[in-house]
Amino acid sequence: MTLDDHPLRYALVNELHARPFPALEVPCQALYLAVKEPVDAANRDRGADRAHLLALLDRHGAAHPGPEATHFAARLGRHDLKWESHTEFVTYSAFTNGVSERPFDPHSTEVFPADWLAGAPGKRTAAVMVRVEALPEDLSGVMAKIDSWFVPESLACSWVLDECAIIAGDFQIDPAGHMRFAVFVRPGTGPRRIGRIVQRLCEIETYRAMSMLGLGRARELTGRLNALDPQLAGLASALADDHRASEATLHELLEISAELESLATRLSFRFGATGAYEAIVNQRIEVLRETRLMGRQTFGEFMRRRYDPAMRTVKSAERRLEQMSARAERAGELLSTRVDVERSAQNQKLLESMDRRADLALRLQHTVEGLSVVAISYYAVSLASYALLPVAEALHWPKSALTAVLVPLVVAAVWVMIRWVRRAIH
């Protein structure tokens, strides 16, 4: 074909096959470890995670992964190692043929040395041990093992994948820090199917642990919201109080809104990740296709009773934060409306005051105009008297008579002139 491929075509197709399920033979055991750095995913140092992996590989002289690899498999002695880098954490899986004589023996974790674990760039969020044995015809021996290995009050066990295997676990952390699961497989079950069962059990625990991180944040958030809720309610009630200054109320409301927005920004990733991890947990349990075993509770029932309430708490806290943010926004809009109305009233009063001052100025102007007529007339009469005095003397008029004649004429002329000027200006 002459058509060019998209530059990411092969990379994206290879991503579909990047994490195949392991092929496991019975009996065997699996050790699974998830490590998360105590920072957000955006600030995670993937170079430190790679360096920690290389330190483990160098102990056994194994080959190194590529510089940008997000998954890698290697043989470490008698263990098959599988390493995967996820958005927030890295996982290490070690699969070993055969099982220890002592069930869930802590010494079987030798593939992960203690000093190497101590140098991990993060904290352990999940550690799982899975013991895989053959399923005999008589189930009484299997049930006796299950009852002796796990805590009865939290035990979950069931048939999976069309009753080709029995899985069991109590979701309790043992003294060595591991969560233990047992898998009993019918003879003839394929290695890939066994690997899928083991992988899904490890993923259920890992994503359950990661999703539960949101519960701690939800509890912290609930405590803070319990403190902010009365303040927000009080500010909402104060909107109807005409005696309280709107500026002070608005300042307090802005502080609450800013804190709610900060909480939403800081917790949005964790709550979003919690929802995604919860969906993965439920999907992994669903694909196991559980059926009940001798009246025991299944993994799905255990999660509905013990896990789902925690997830509902997280969702409730997230909804409450959204609702309080919406309430604060509505209160802000109402308060802004009240401030606008008050400012409109103040502007109206200001305009009325300006109208009164303009009216006073007009009256003063009329008064000044009247005084101006008198003053101008006074000086005009004086000037006219001096100008017409020779004529009056020639006619034998006294000066007082001349002034008496000029006054009404000059006043009338000045008044007409000022009226004409005012009309011209307006």
Segment 43-55, tens digit of pLDDT:
788 899 999 999 9
Closest CA to 169 of 124, 204, 125: 204
The pLDDT value recorded for residue 305 is: 93
Q: Is the pLDDT of residue 367 over 80?
A: no
Mean pLDDT of 243-260: 80
Q: What is the pLDDT of residue 178?
A: 94
Which pLDDT score, from 0 to 100, does residue 168 have? 96
- Percent of the chain, pLDDT > 70? 96
Query: Residue 41 pLDDT more than 90?
Result: no
Kindly give, in sequence order, each residue whose CB lies less than 8 Å from that of residue 94, ignoring residues fewer than 6 positions away.
30, 31, 32, 76, 79, 80, 81, 82, 111, 112
DSSP code at position 42 = G
pTM: 0.77
Name the residue type at position 416. V
pLDDT for the residue 280: 95
Q: Per-domain residue ranges for the chain?
A: 11-202, 212-349, 364-425
- What does the pLDDT average to over 222-235? 88
Whether residue 215 is predicted with pLDDT greater than 60 in this model: the reply is yes
Structure tokens belonging to residue 369: 């105009």
140: which 2 tokens?
Answer: 């009484």
Residue 208: pLDDT over 80: yes
Higher pLDDT, 267 or 398: 267
Average pLDDT value for the chain: 87
The dihedrals phi and psi of 95, each to the nearest 5 degrees, come to -115, 135
240 pLDDT band, cuts 50/70/90, is low
What is the DSSP-derived secondary structure letter of residue 120? -
> How far is the C-alpha of 109 from the C-alpha of 172, rounded, in Å?
18
* Omega prior to 136 cis, within 30 of 0: no
Look at residue 1 and tell me whether its pLDDT is greater than 60: no
Q: What would the pLDDT profile of 253-305 be if each residue is shown by its tens digit? A: 888 888 999 999 899 999 999 999 999 999 999 999 999 999 999 999 999 99
- Of 317 and 358, the one with more pLDDT: 317
User: How many C-beta neighbours within 10 Å does residue 212 have?
Assistant: 17
Separation in Å, CA 385 to CA 171, 382, 392: 124, 5, 9
Mean pLDDT of 195-215: 95
| Between residues 231 and 167, the one the model is more confident about | 167
pLDDT (mean) for 118-130: 93
Mean pLDDT confidence for 356-360: 83
**Please, which pLDDT band fits residue 244 given cuts at 50, 70 and 90?**
low
Mean pLDDT of the region 123-140:
94
pLDDT band at 123 (very low <50, low <70, confident <90, very high): very high
What average pLDDT does the segment 130-139 reach? 93
Looking at residue 82, its pLDDT comes to 94
- What pLDDT digit, counting tens, does each position of 69-102 carry? 888 999 998 999 999 999 899 999 999 999 998 9
pLDDT band at residue 245 using 50, 70 and 90 as cut-offs: low
CB-CB contact of 73 with 80 (8 Å)? yes
**Mean pLDDT, residues 249-253:** 80
Report CA-CA distances (Å) from 372 to 124, 403, 420. Answer: 98, 19, 14
Q: For residues 98 and 84, what is the distance between their CA atoms, to the nearest angstrom?
A: 24
